[in-house]
Every structure is written in structure tokens, then in C-alpha cells.
Amino acid sequence: METTEKIVESYIRYIRNWFTIPNIKCEGQKEIDILAADASRVPIKRYHIEVSVSISGAYSKISLVEYDKEKLKQRVHQAKQRTSIGYFISEKFDCEQVKSKLEEYGFKDNNYERVIVAWGWKEGVKKEAKKNKIELWSFPEMVKELGEKIMHQRSYYIDDTLRTIHLYAKAMSK
């Protein structure tokens, strides 16, 4: 699991108080980053969450670049393709291998939300995401909220990711 996915999972577990299952392998080398469930709601609200975080200036934001499966295979185009909203729709949310695995966990048809966590998104992406029933969550805002919540707590966190953020937040508050 990538560090950014661990941070998102910590946020979901400690801020939202939801259950999570990370890194679910699917057929065809596909993977679901995080499944989450908000058990405080009846019926339980489910989330399929994909994380795409880069601080690279050129590829840090989700874009409207037209997704092309052939370009994804070309090294020179890969980064641009992987940050397009079309990539998430085709390869992360609507592909048959992922849908099949989601059904095994009770995620069917319209009983769950689809989420992309990113550093940001370019103009027009939010509208396209909404049209495709995808929520966009801001990674920097999640990290800030997580740090602010745990900054003054005296708890010892066993979760390495949360412990690191806790130590960093404490150091920054001095």
C-alpha cells in the first residue's frame, strides 16, 4: 500500500470513524485502493475510494485530458493518462474486473459512492466527476484535518502512519 493510501485510510478510520479494507486485488492486475463503510448510517453507506496523489507540478491535478487506453501503454503518455478523469472511470470504477470484485463485498449497482482523492483537480473536472457520480476529496485538506484533530492528543498511536502525522503535527505546534 502506498503512503498516500495509508494516510487516506487513517483519515477515513480516525476522522470519519468508518471501517476500511485496503488494497483489494482483482483479476487482470487491477486493484481497489480502499473500500469503506459508514456503519453509523442505516442502511450502511459504502464507498469505493481511489487515491491519486502526486506533488509533481505537471501531474498533480486530475485533468480532463481525453483518456486513451493505447496511450496508457506508451511511457511518454502514462502519467498524463493516469491523472485523467477518464482513466478513473474506465480503469478504476467501470471496469468489469473491479465491478465483479466489488459485488463480492456487497457493493452493487447504486448502493455505494465512488471517490477520487487527489492533490487537486483542474477546471471542469468537478463537473465531469459529478456527471459520472464521482466525489472528489482533497488530499491536502484531509491531511490538515487529521493533523489538527490529533495534534493535541496524548494518545500513543500504534498505526505507523497516524503516529508519524501525530509527531509531525506536535513538532509543528511548538
List, for residues 4-45, the tens digit of each pLDDT value.
Answer: 999 999 999 999 999 999 999 999 999 999 999 999 988 899
More confident residue, 77 or 50: 50
What are φ and ψ of residue 112, in 5° steps?
-150, 160
Residues in the chain: 174
Strand 30-38 relative to strand 45-52, pairing:
antiparallel
Among 72-81, 83-92, 145-154, name the most confident range. Answer: 83-92
CA dihedral 68, 138, 16, 82 (to 10 degrees): 20
Residues 6+ apart with CB under 8 A from 78: 71, 72
Mind listing the domains of the chain with CATH numbers? 3-173 (3.40.1350.10)
Q: Which pLDDT score is estimated for 150? A: 83
Q: Which three cell numbers stand for residue 28?
A: 487482470
Q: Which pLDDT score is estimated for 153? A: 77
pTM of this prediction? 0.92
